[in-house]
């Protein structure tokens, strides 16, 4: 895929008008989404409640579409495989304990679960609808014996999880749908649940221009903003440059606690 388009502000009226002229066939669907989102924002002031309602509405149509823009099963499987292959190349081992934030319907989770020892996968999500779809994936893939944990969460404080437990924390396409205060809450607490030498990988929609959002659903951040925010909570950031070569429009960052910068994951 090569270089990503990181300068454009997709939230401006000018961009949206240009896009509409270039893609007239997509205008009705975008208009429907804008109306639906405006209605849901009126009903739910809090971002998590709002986004949970967005997921309920999307999942009612198709769980695959709810976790990705392209609803085809092939595309769903391809993006899951890409996440999995990348994480295995970058350190995920079967004995690791993994927390997946925003696990969705286990697009990648099903591969993580299969790879990890029984009980070592812990997926959390804000959407009960998508967690039910995740159970369907488990059944379809015959992964019951791996006994993964799938838990509904209301925030990213991880208050119900133990200290120093997870070697790997992963969040794909979650911060691309999160305002900064949600990301900050995660950064403030993730260090507590990371095991010594553990790491937290996440994707984000990167901009090199002005930070912006579209319909309160898609959020674009500068790398430096997220790295500085992480540093405030004792986390060191590494931009995953080789992820940029993959056919995916987001970027990826890895956080480790500053106290164990020298080490990587447990051998
Ligand atoms: C685009 S989907 C991606 C799902 C999965 N990570 C994947 O790659 O297939 C985003 C998921 O994150 C969940 N989510 C969004 N914000 C969240 C938050 N603050 N905490 C936990 N889950 C969240 C949504 O409900 C949804 O299931």
Overall residue count recorded for the chain in this entry: 267
Residue 205 has pLDDT above 80, yes or no: yes
DSSP H stretches of helix in the chain: 13-22, 27-43, 47-61, 63-67, 73-89, 109-115, 128-141, 180-193, 223-232
Spacing, Cα 267 to ligand 1 middle (Å): 29
Average pLDDT over residues 21-29: 79
Per-residue model confidence as pLDDT tens digits over 218-241: 999 999 999 999 999 999 999 999
Atom index in ligand 1 nearest the CA of residue 127 equals 25
Q: State yes or no: pLDDT of 164 exceeds 90.
A: yes
Average pLDDT over residues 44-56: 92
Closest ligand 1 atom to 106 CA? 9
Residue nearest to atom 24 of ligand 1 (CA): 102
- Number of the ligand 1 atom closest to the C-alpha atom of 68: 1
238 Cα–ligand 1 center, Å: 22
Minimum-distance ligand 1 atom for the alpha carbon of 171: 6
What pTM value is reported for the model?
0.89
Residues 1 and 52: their CA atoms lie apart, in Å, by: 31
Architecture of domain 13-260: 3-Layer(aba) Sandwich (3.40)
CA-closest candidate to residue 57, choices 109, 123, 124, 130: 130
pLDDT for the residue numbered 267: 41
The mean pLDDT of the chain is 91
**Residue of 151, 68, 147, 164 whose CA lies nearest to 108:** 68
Closest-CA residue, ligand 1 atom 11, reads 102
The Cα–Cα gap between 204 and 221 comes to: 7
Find the 21 Cα to ligand 1 centroid distance in Å: 31
DSSP H or E stretch at residue 205: strand 194-206
- Name the phi and psi angles at 240, rounded to 5: -85, 90
Nearest residue by C-alpha to atom 2 in ligand 1: 67
Q: Give percent above pLDDT 90 in the chain.
A: 73
Residues with CB under 6 A from ligand 1: 48, 51, 55, 67, 101-104, 107-108, 124-127, 130, 153, 156, 172-174, 177-178, 182
């Amino acid at each position: 895929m090569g270089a990503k388009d990181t300068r454009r502000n997709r939230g401006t009226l000018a961009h949206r008008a240009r896009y509409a002229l270039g893609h007239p066939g997509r205008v009705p669907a975008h208009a429907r989404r804008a109306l639906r989102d405006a209605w849901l924002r009126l009903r739910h002031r809090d971002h998590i409640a709002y986004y949970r309602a967005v997921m309920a509405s999307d999942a009612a149509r198709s769980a695959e579409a709810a976790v990705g823009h392209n609803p085809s099963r092939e595309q769903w499987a391809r993006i899951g495989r890409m996440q999995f292959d990348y994480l295995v190349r970058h350190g995920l081992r079967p004995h690791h304990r993994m927390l997946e934030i925003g696990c969705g319907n286990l697009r990648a989770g099903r591969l993580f679960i299969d790879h990890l020892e029984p009980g070592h996968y812990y997926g959390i999500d804000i959407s009960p609808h998508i967690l039910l779809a995740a159970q369907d994936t488990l059944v379809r893939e015959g992964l019951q014996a791996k006994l993964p944990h799938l838990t509904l969460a209301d925030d990213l404080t991880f208050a119900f999880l133990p200290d120093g437990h997870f070697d790997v924390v992963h969040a794909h396409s979650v911060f691309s749908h999160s305002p900064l205060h949600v990301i900050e809450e995660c950064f403030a607490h993730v260090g507590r649940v990371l095991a010594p030498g553990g790491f937290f990988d996440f994707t984000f929609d990167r901009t090199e221009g002005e930070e912006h959002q579209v319909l309160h659903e898609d959020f674009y951040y500068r790398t430096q903003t997220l790295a500085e925010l992480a540093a405030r909570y004792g986390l060191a950031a590494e931009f995953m440059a080789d992820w940029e070569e993959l056919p995916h429009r987001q970027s990826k960052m890895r956080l480790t606690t500053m106290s164990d910068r020298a080490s990587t994951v447990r051998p």
